[in-house]
Amino acid sequence: MSPYIPLSIAIVAEVIATTAMKSSDNFTRLVPSVIVVVGYVVAFYFLSITFKFIPTGIAYAIWAGAGIVLITLMGWIVHKQTLDLAAMLGMGLIVSGVLVINIFSKSGAH
């Protein structure tokens, strides 16, 4: 199995959990609060599996970078949040960094 499968599951679970956190209204709404807890348990479990195959720093950079961009997208779709040009440029730099790691680094999955 590719080590990027558990990493992808970790990223998606973290994005779902973080998106639900805003909807939980400071953990006063039950269903979104449960989604937050379950999502983070799933995210950290699958991230720990990823660390068996990909160095911690590389896996975490991919997880964090992809998560930032996807959470921002979900904030836009679900919570109608908007971004200014500086925010979009910053996320472009994050995506560029993740791509550089994946394309050029020899520290990736082994």
Q: 16-42: per-residue pLDDT in tens?
A: 999 999 999 999 999 999 999 999 999
Predicted pLDDT at 97: 87
Residue 13 CB-density burial (10 A; 0-12 exposed, 13-18 middle, 19+ buried): buried
Question: First vs last Cα of the chain: how many Å apart?
Answer: 12
pTM attached to this predicted model: 0.84
- 8 Å CB contact between 41 and 100: no
The kind and range of the H/E element at 37 are: helix 30-50
Helical packing angle, 30-50 and 56-79, nearest 10°: 150
User: Tokens 């930032």, residue?
Assistant: 68
Predicted pLDDT at 100: 87
Which residues in the chain show pLDDT less than 50?
none
